[in-house]
Structure 1
Amino acid sequence: MDSNFLQGKNPKTAIQKTAFQKPRHWVFTSVAILSLCGALVSTSGCTNLLRTIVVLTHDPNVKPEYDIVKKRVALVTTVDGMSTKDASALVMSNGFKALIKKELKKKVVFIDQEEVDRAFNDQPLESKNFAEIASQTGADCVIFVDIKDLKLKRDKTLYQGSCQCAVKVYEPDAGKSSVYQEEINDLVHPSGGKPITECTEAQFRGHYLSLLARRASRLFYKWDPNEDYAQDAAAAAL
């Protein structure tokens, strides 16, 4: 016979108490476990957890200096401020456009180069108005890349590229003053020189100007700051 009945207790009430005690015990146990886990994270793993979050959320790439996304761009590249038809200017211009198109895909439209060159040549030789060039070509901005004092040899036996390069941006409504400007005067490459017997001058010219084009173009898109470390190795591979 049921002991609860012998003791004068209602069996139904006893069953209800037992049923309620088990869930209540489970809740208390769960809270205790969660509290312990929280304490462990806060004491030993909090720093590592925060570091992981920072690494996952931090973008190591360098942000663009000037945004040309969804813009119509007129590119003018000159050597010593003169001809846009110079061989070095053409190599630089083609390299610049190729890199922008690679990094920004179809988000940028370049104005037809012949139209840009025609507008450039219409301007007075000593006083170019790039805002007018932008208006004449229907561009949202003009990117002007001017290469000066371009050298490809350190001496008679070694190639070593160096130059002074100014990158300026003009907008049609901003007048004759540039809205952005950056100087690239520290690209001396390769650091130890390259023997002239290892490649032709045309090959080295193309290589050096491709590096210069990358330095100039990445002002307009995000780039990895580690990419410069392999420059001298690239020269050795020529």
Structure 2
Amino acid sequence: MIAVRGIGWLAAARYGSVARGLQEAFPAGEGPAVLAKTGVVPTPYRNFGRLDPLSRNTIAAVALALGDAGLTGRPGETQATGIVGAARDGSLAADVAYFRDYLENGRTLGRGNLFIYTLPTSPLGEAAIQFGLTGPLLYAAGAGAPLGSALELAAELVAGGEAPRMLAGEAGADAALYLLVDRTGPGGALCSLAEARAIVEPGDGVAAVAARFSALLTRKGAL
């Protein structure tokens, strides 16, 4: 059975994971960069704060999802996990930042590191490097609910044997949510693929989606 085994998320003021029932507020004046100092992002990442917002949010949500599923990413280790990501605006913010910097400072004085993030797959690549992901890496683009598109593609890759596990998620400038999808026995699943589809289908934001997943898990625990 293809199912969801872990979910990690972060919004403007808080972050959490669903299976573990984690929900914490960011310290005052802090954001996702603080997670690299507190062990949520479990491996050393000295340059975490220098990443663009999409990459920071993607890595933090992936770390939370992997931890929620009982998986980790240690230095020098790899795991046969792939990742499918989506973003409502792609890399538009990074594109604008790079072009504005180029216009203001020119080729010589411009910040070349901004160019790295002008592809929508760049945050996924950063996450793959950080956590040793060796499975497929894809960006899901299209109209509608991008998280739903990423989930469907991840499930298809697992069903087709392209990877035993896939991360599927959506990231924005101030929020992100990732799910870990695999072939899981009934006892190890957080929810079924059908249940996950129904929850992400409205496409109404990370906080609302995370709350619905948590409510589903609470109902199941009460059965």
Is TM-score (shorter-chain normalized) higher than 0.5? no
Q: Determine which structure has greater relative contact order: mean sequence separation of CA pairs < 8 Å that are 6+ residues apart, divided by chain length.
A: 2
The structure number with the bigger radius of gyration is 1
What TM-score comes out, normalization by structure 2 length?
0.31
